[in-house]
Amino acid sequence: MSPDPSTPTAAQDHLRFHAPHLHLSSVFGGDWFGRKAETFARFFGTPTFLIAQTVLVGIWIAANIWGFAHFDLYPFILLNLAFSLQAAYAAPLILLAQTRQADRDKMMTEADAQHREALATASVERQRIATETQEQILKLLQQNTELTEITRALTQRIEELTRDIHSRTCAEGTAP
């Protein structure tokens, strides 16, 4: 009978030890805001964001220094305000993302610990079975040795009896 393809095997379901922890949610929940905050916080650390921000700041400063626009003259108070506003929102969003990731890491660590414990238990069980098997093999070997000795003794006894019968038969055949 072939296995049911809809039933995952141990090799297919490598995250099976994480399944009991799926009911746990982050302290901020799995809501839309939390997911978006994580996406936004991850974007803050990308080269795309850093390059784009650098280009925008360069354009902002160039436009105000060379007179293309005069909405934020030196010392660029509006630019400083924009950076402050960005930092005011970025810091809590990054902390939110880190907290959610820490919760996931904790869950995965616990699942991995359970997996290691299951592996250790299975290893102990396999060791016990191997020891029992070894004891059985030694017992069978001992029984085989005893049977071999009995067979040798019986073979010697048969040889003796055969010689004795042969000597009696040959001795009776020569007598008048």
pLDDT at 138 over 90: yes
Going from N- to C-terminal start, the domains of the chain cover: 26-128
Asked if 33 and 25 touch (Cβ cutoff 8 Å), the reply is: no
Band the pLDDT of 42: cuts 50, 70, 90: confident
Question: Does the pLDDT of residue 1 top 60, yes or no?
Answer: no
Q: Is the pTM of this model over 0.85?
A: no
pLDDT 10s digits, 47-69: 998 899 999 999 988 888 887 77
- For residues 74 and 85, what is the distance between their CA atoms, to the nearest angstrom? 19
Asked whether 107 and 24 are in contact (CB, 8 A), the reply is yes
| pLDDT tens digits along 18-40 | 666 665 555 445 677 777 777 88
Say if residue 44 is exposed, middle or buried (CB neighbours under 10 Å; 0-12, 13-18, 19+). middle
